[in-house]
Amino acid sequence: MTPTDTTVQHGSFVLQRDYQATPAQVFSAWASVEAKRNWFHGGTGWTQLAHSLDFRVGGLEISRGQTADGVRHDYDAHYQDIVPDARIILAFSMMVGPVRISSSLLTVTVQAEGQGTRLVLTEQIAVLDSRYPLAGREEGTRWLLENLAAYVEGAPS
């Protein structure tokens, strides 16, 4: 993408995942930087450079990381709405190197389902760089929700 490229691809996706954990456990994994660092990362070869989280309406989350080949990734989120143990709405942008690749509105809901919790994640996205298609974002988000499962289902009650 060049600095004068004005293309944009709008899209959305919805992911649903059930967890063997309480709604409070799943919600709290989003609410503290210490918990979120355990599952919200770039995977093998990822170096976390910085991560801060002010989890409140109007608060910011900033994450900076780098892949094994040295490419920097920036994530900047602004919390729009929080209902404890039930809902999180945030707006965020992502950059790869010096290029903003997307801006999104993300809604996460959690509710008791049987003996566990059902999480529903909806992302409405404006993709600003065609090298990072919507399908890749959905796949990456699904991977993060699996990381979340490993964290909350292995966490003490």
Q: What per-residue confidence (pLDDT) applies to 3?
A: 57
pLDDT tens, position by position, 24-33: 999 999 999 9
Interstrand relation of 116-127 and 60-66 (parallel, antiparallel or unpaired): unpaired
Q: Compute the distance between CA of residue 26 and CA of residue 28 in angstroms, rounded to an integer.
A: 6
Q: What CATH topology corresponds to 9-131?
A: Alpha-D-Glucose-1,6-Bisphosphate; Chain A, domain 4 (3.30.530)
Domain residue limits, the chain: 9-131
pLDDT at residue 56 tops 90: yes
pLDDT at residue 67 tops 90: yes
pLDDT at residue 157 tops 50: no
* Local confidence band at 6 (pLDDT 50, 70, 90 cut-offs): confident
Q: Shortest CA distance to 14 belongs to which of 85, 108, 83, 104?
A: 108
- Contacting residues for 19 by C-beta, under 8 A, at least 6 apart: 25, 26, 116, 117, 118, 119, 148, 149, 152, 153
Distances (CA, A) of 26 to 1, 9, 64: 37, 31, 23
pLDDT at residue 5 tops 80: no
* Local confidence band at 7 (pLDDT 50, 70, 90 cut-offs): confident
In the chain, % of residues over pLDDT 70: 95
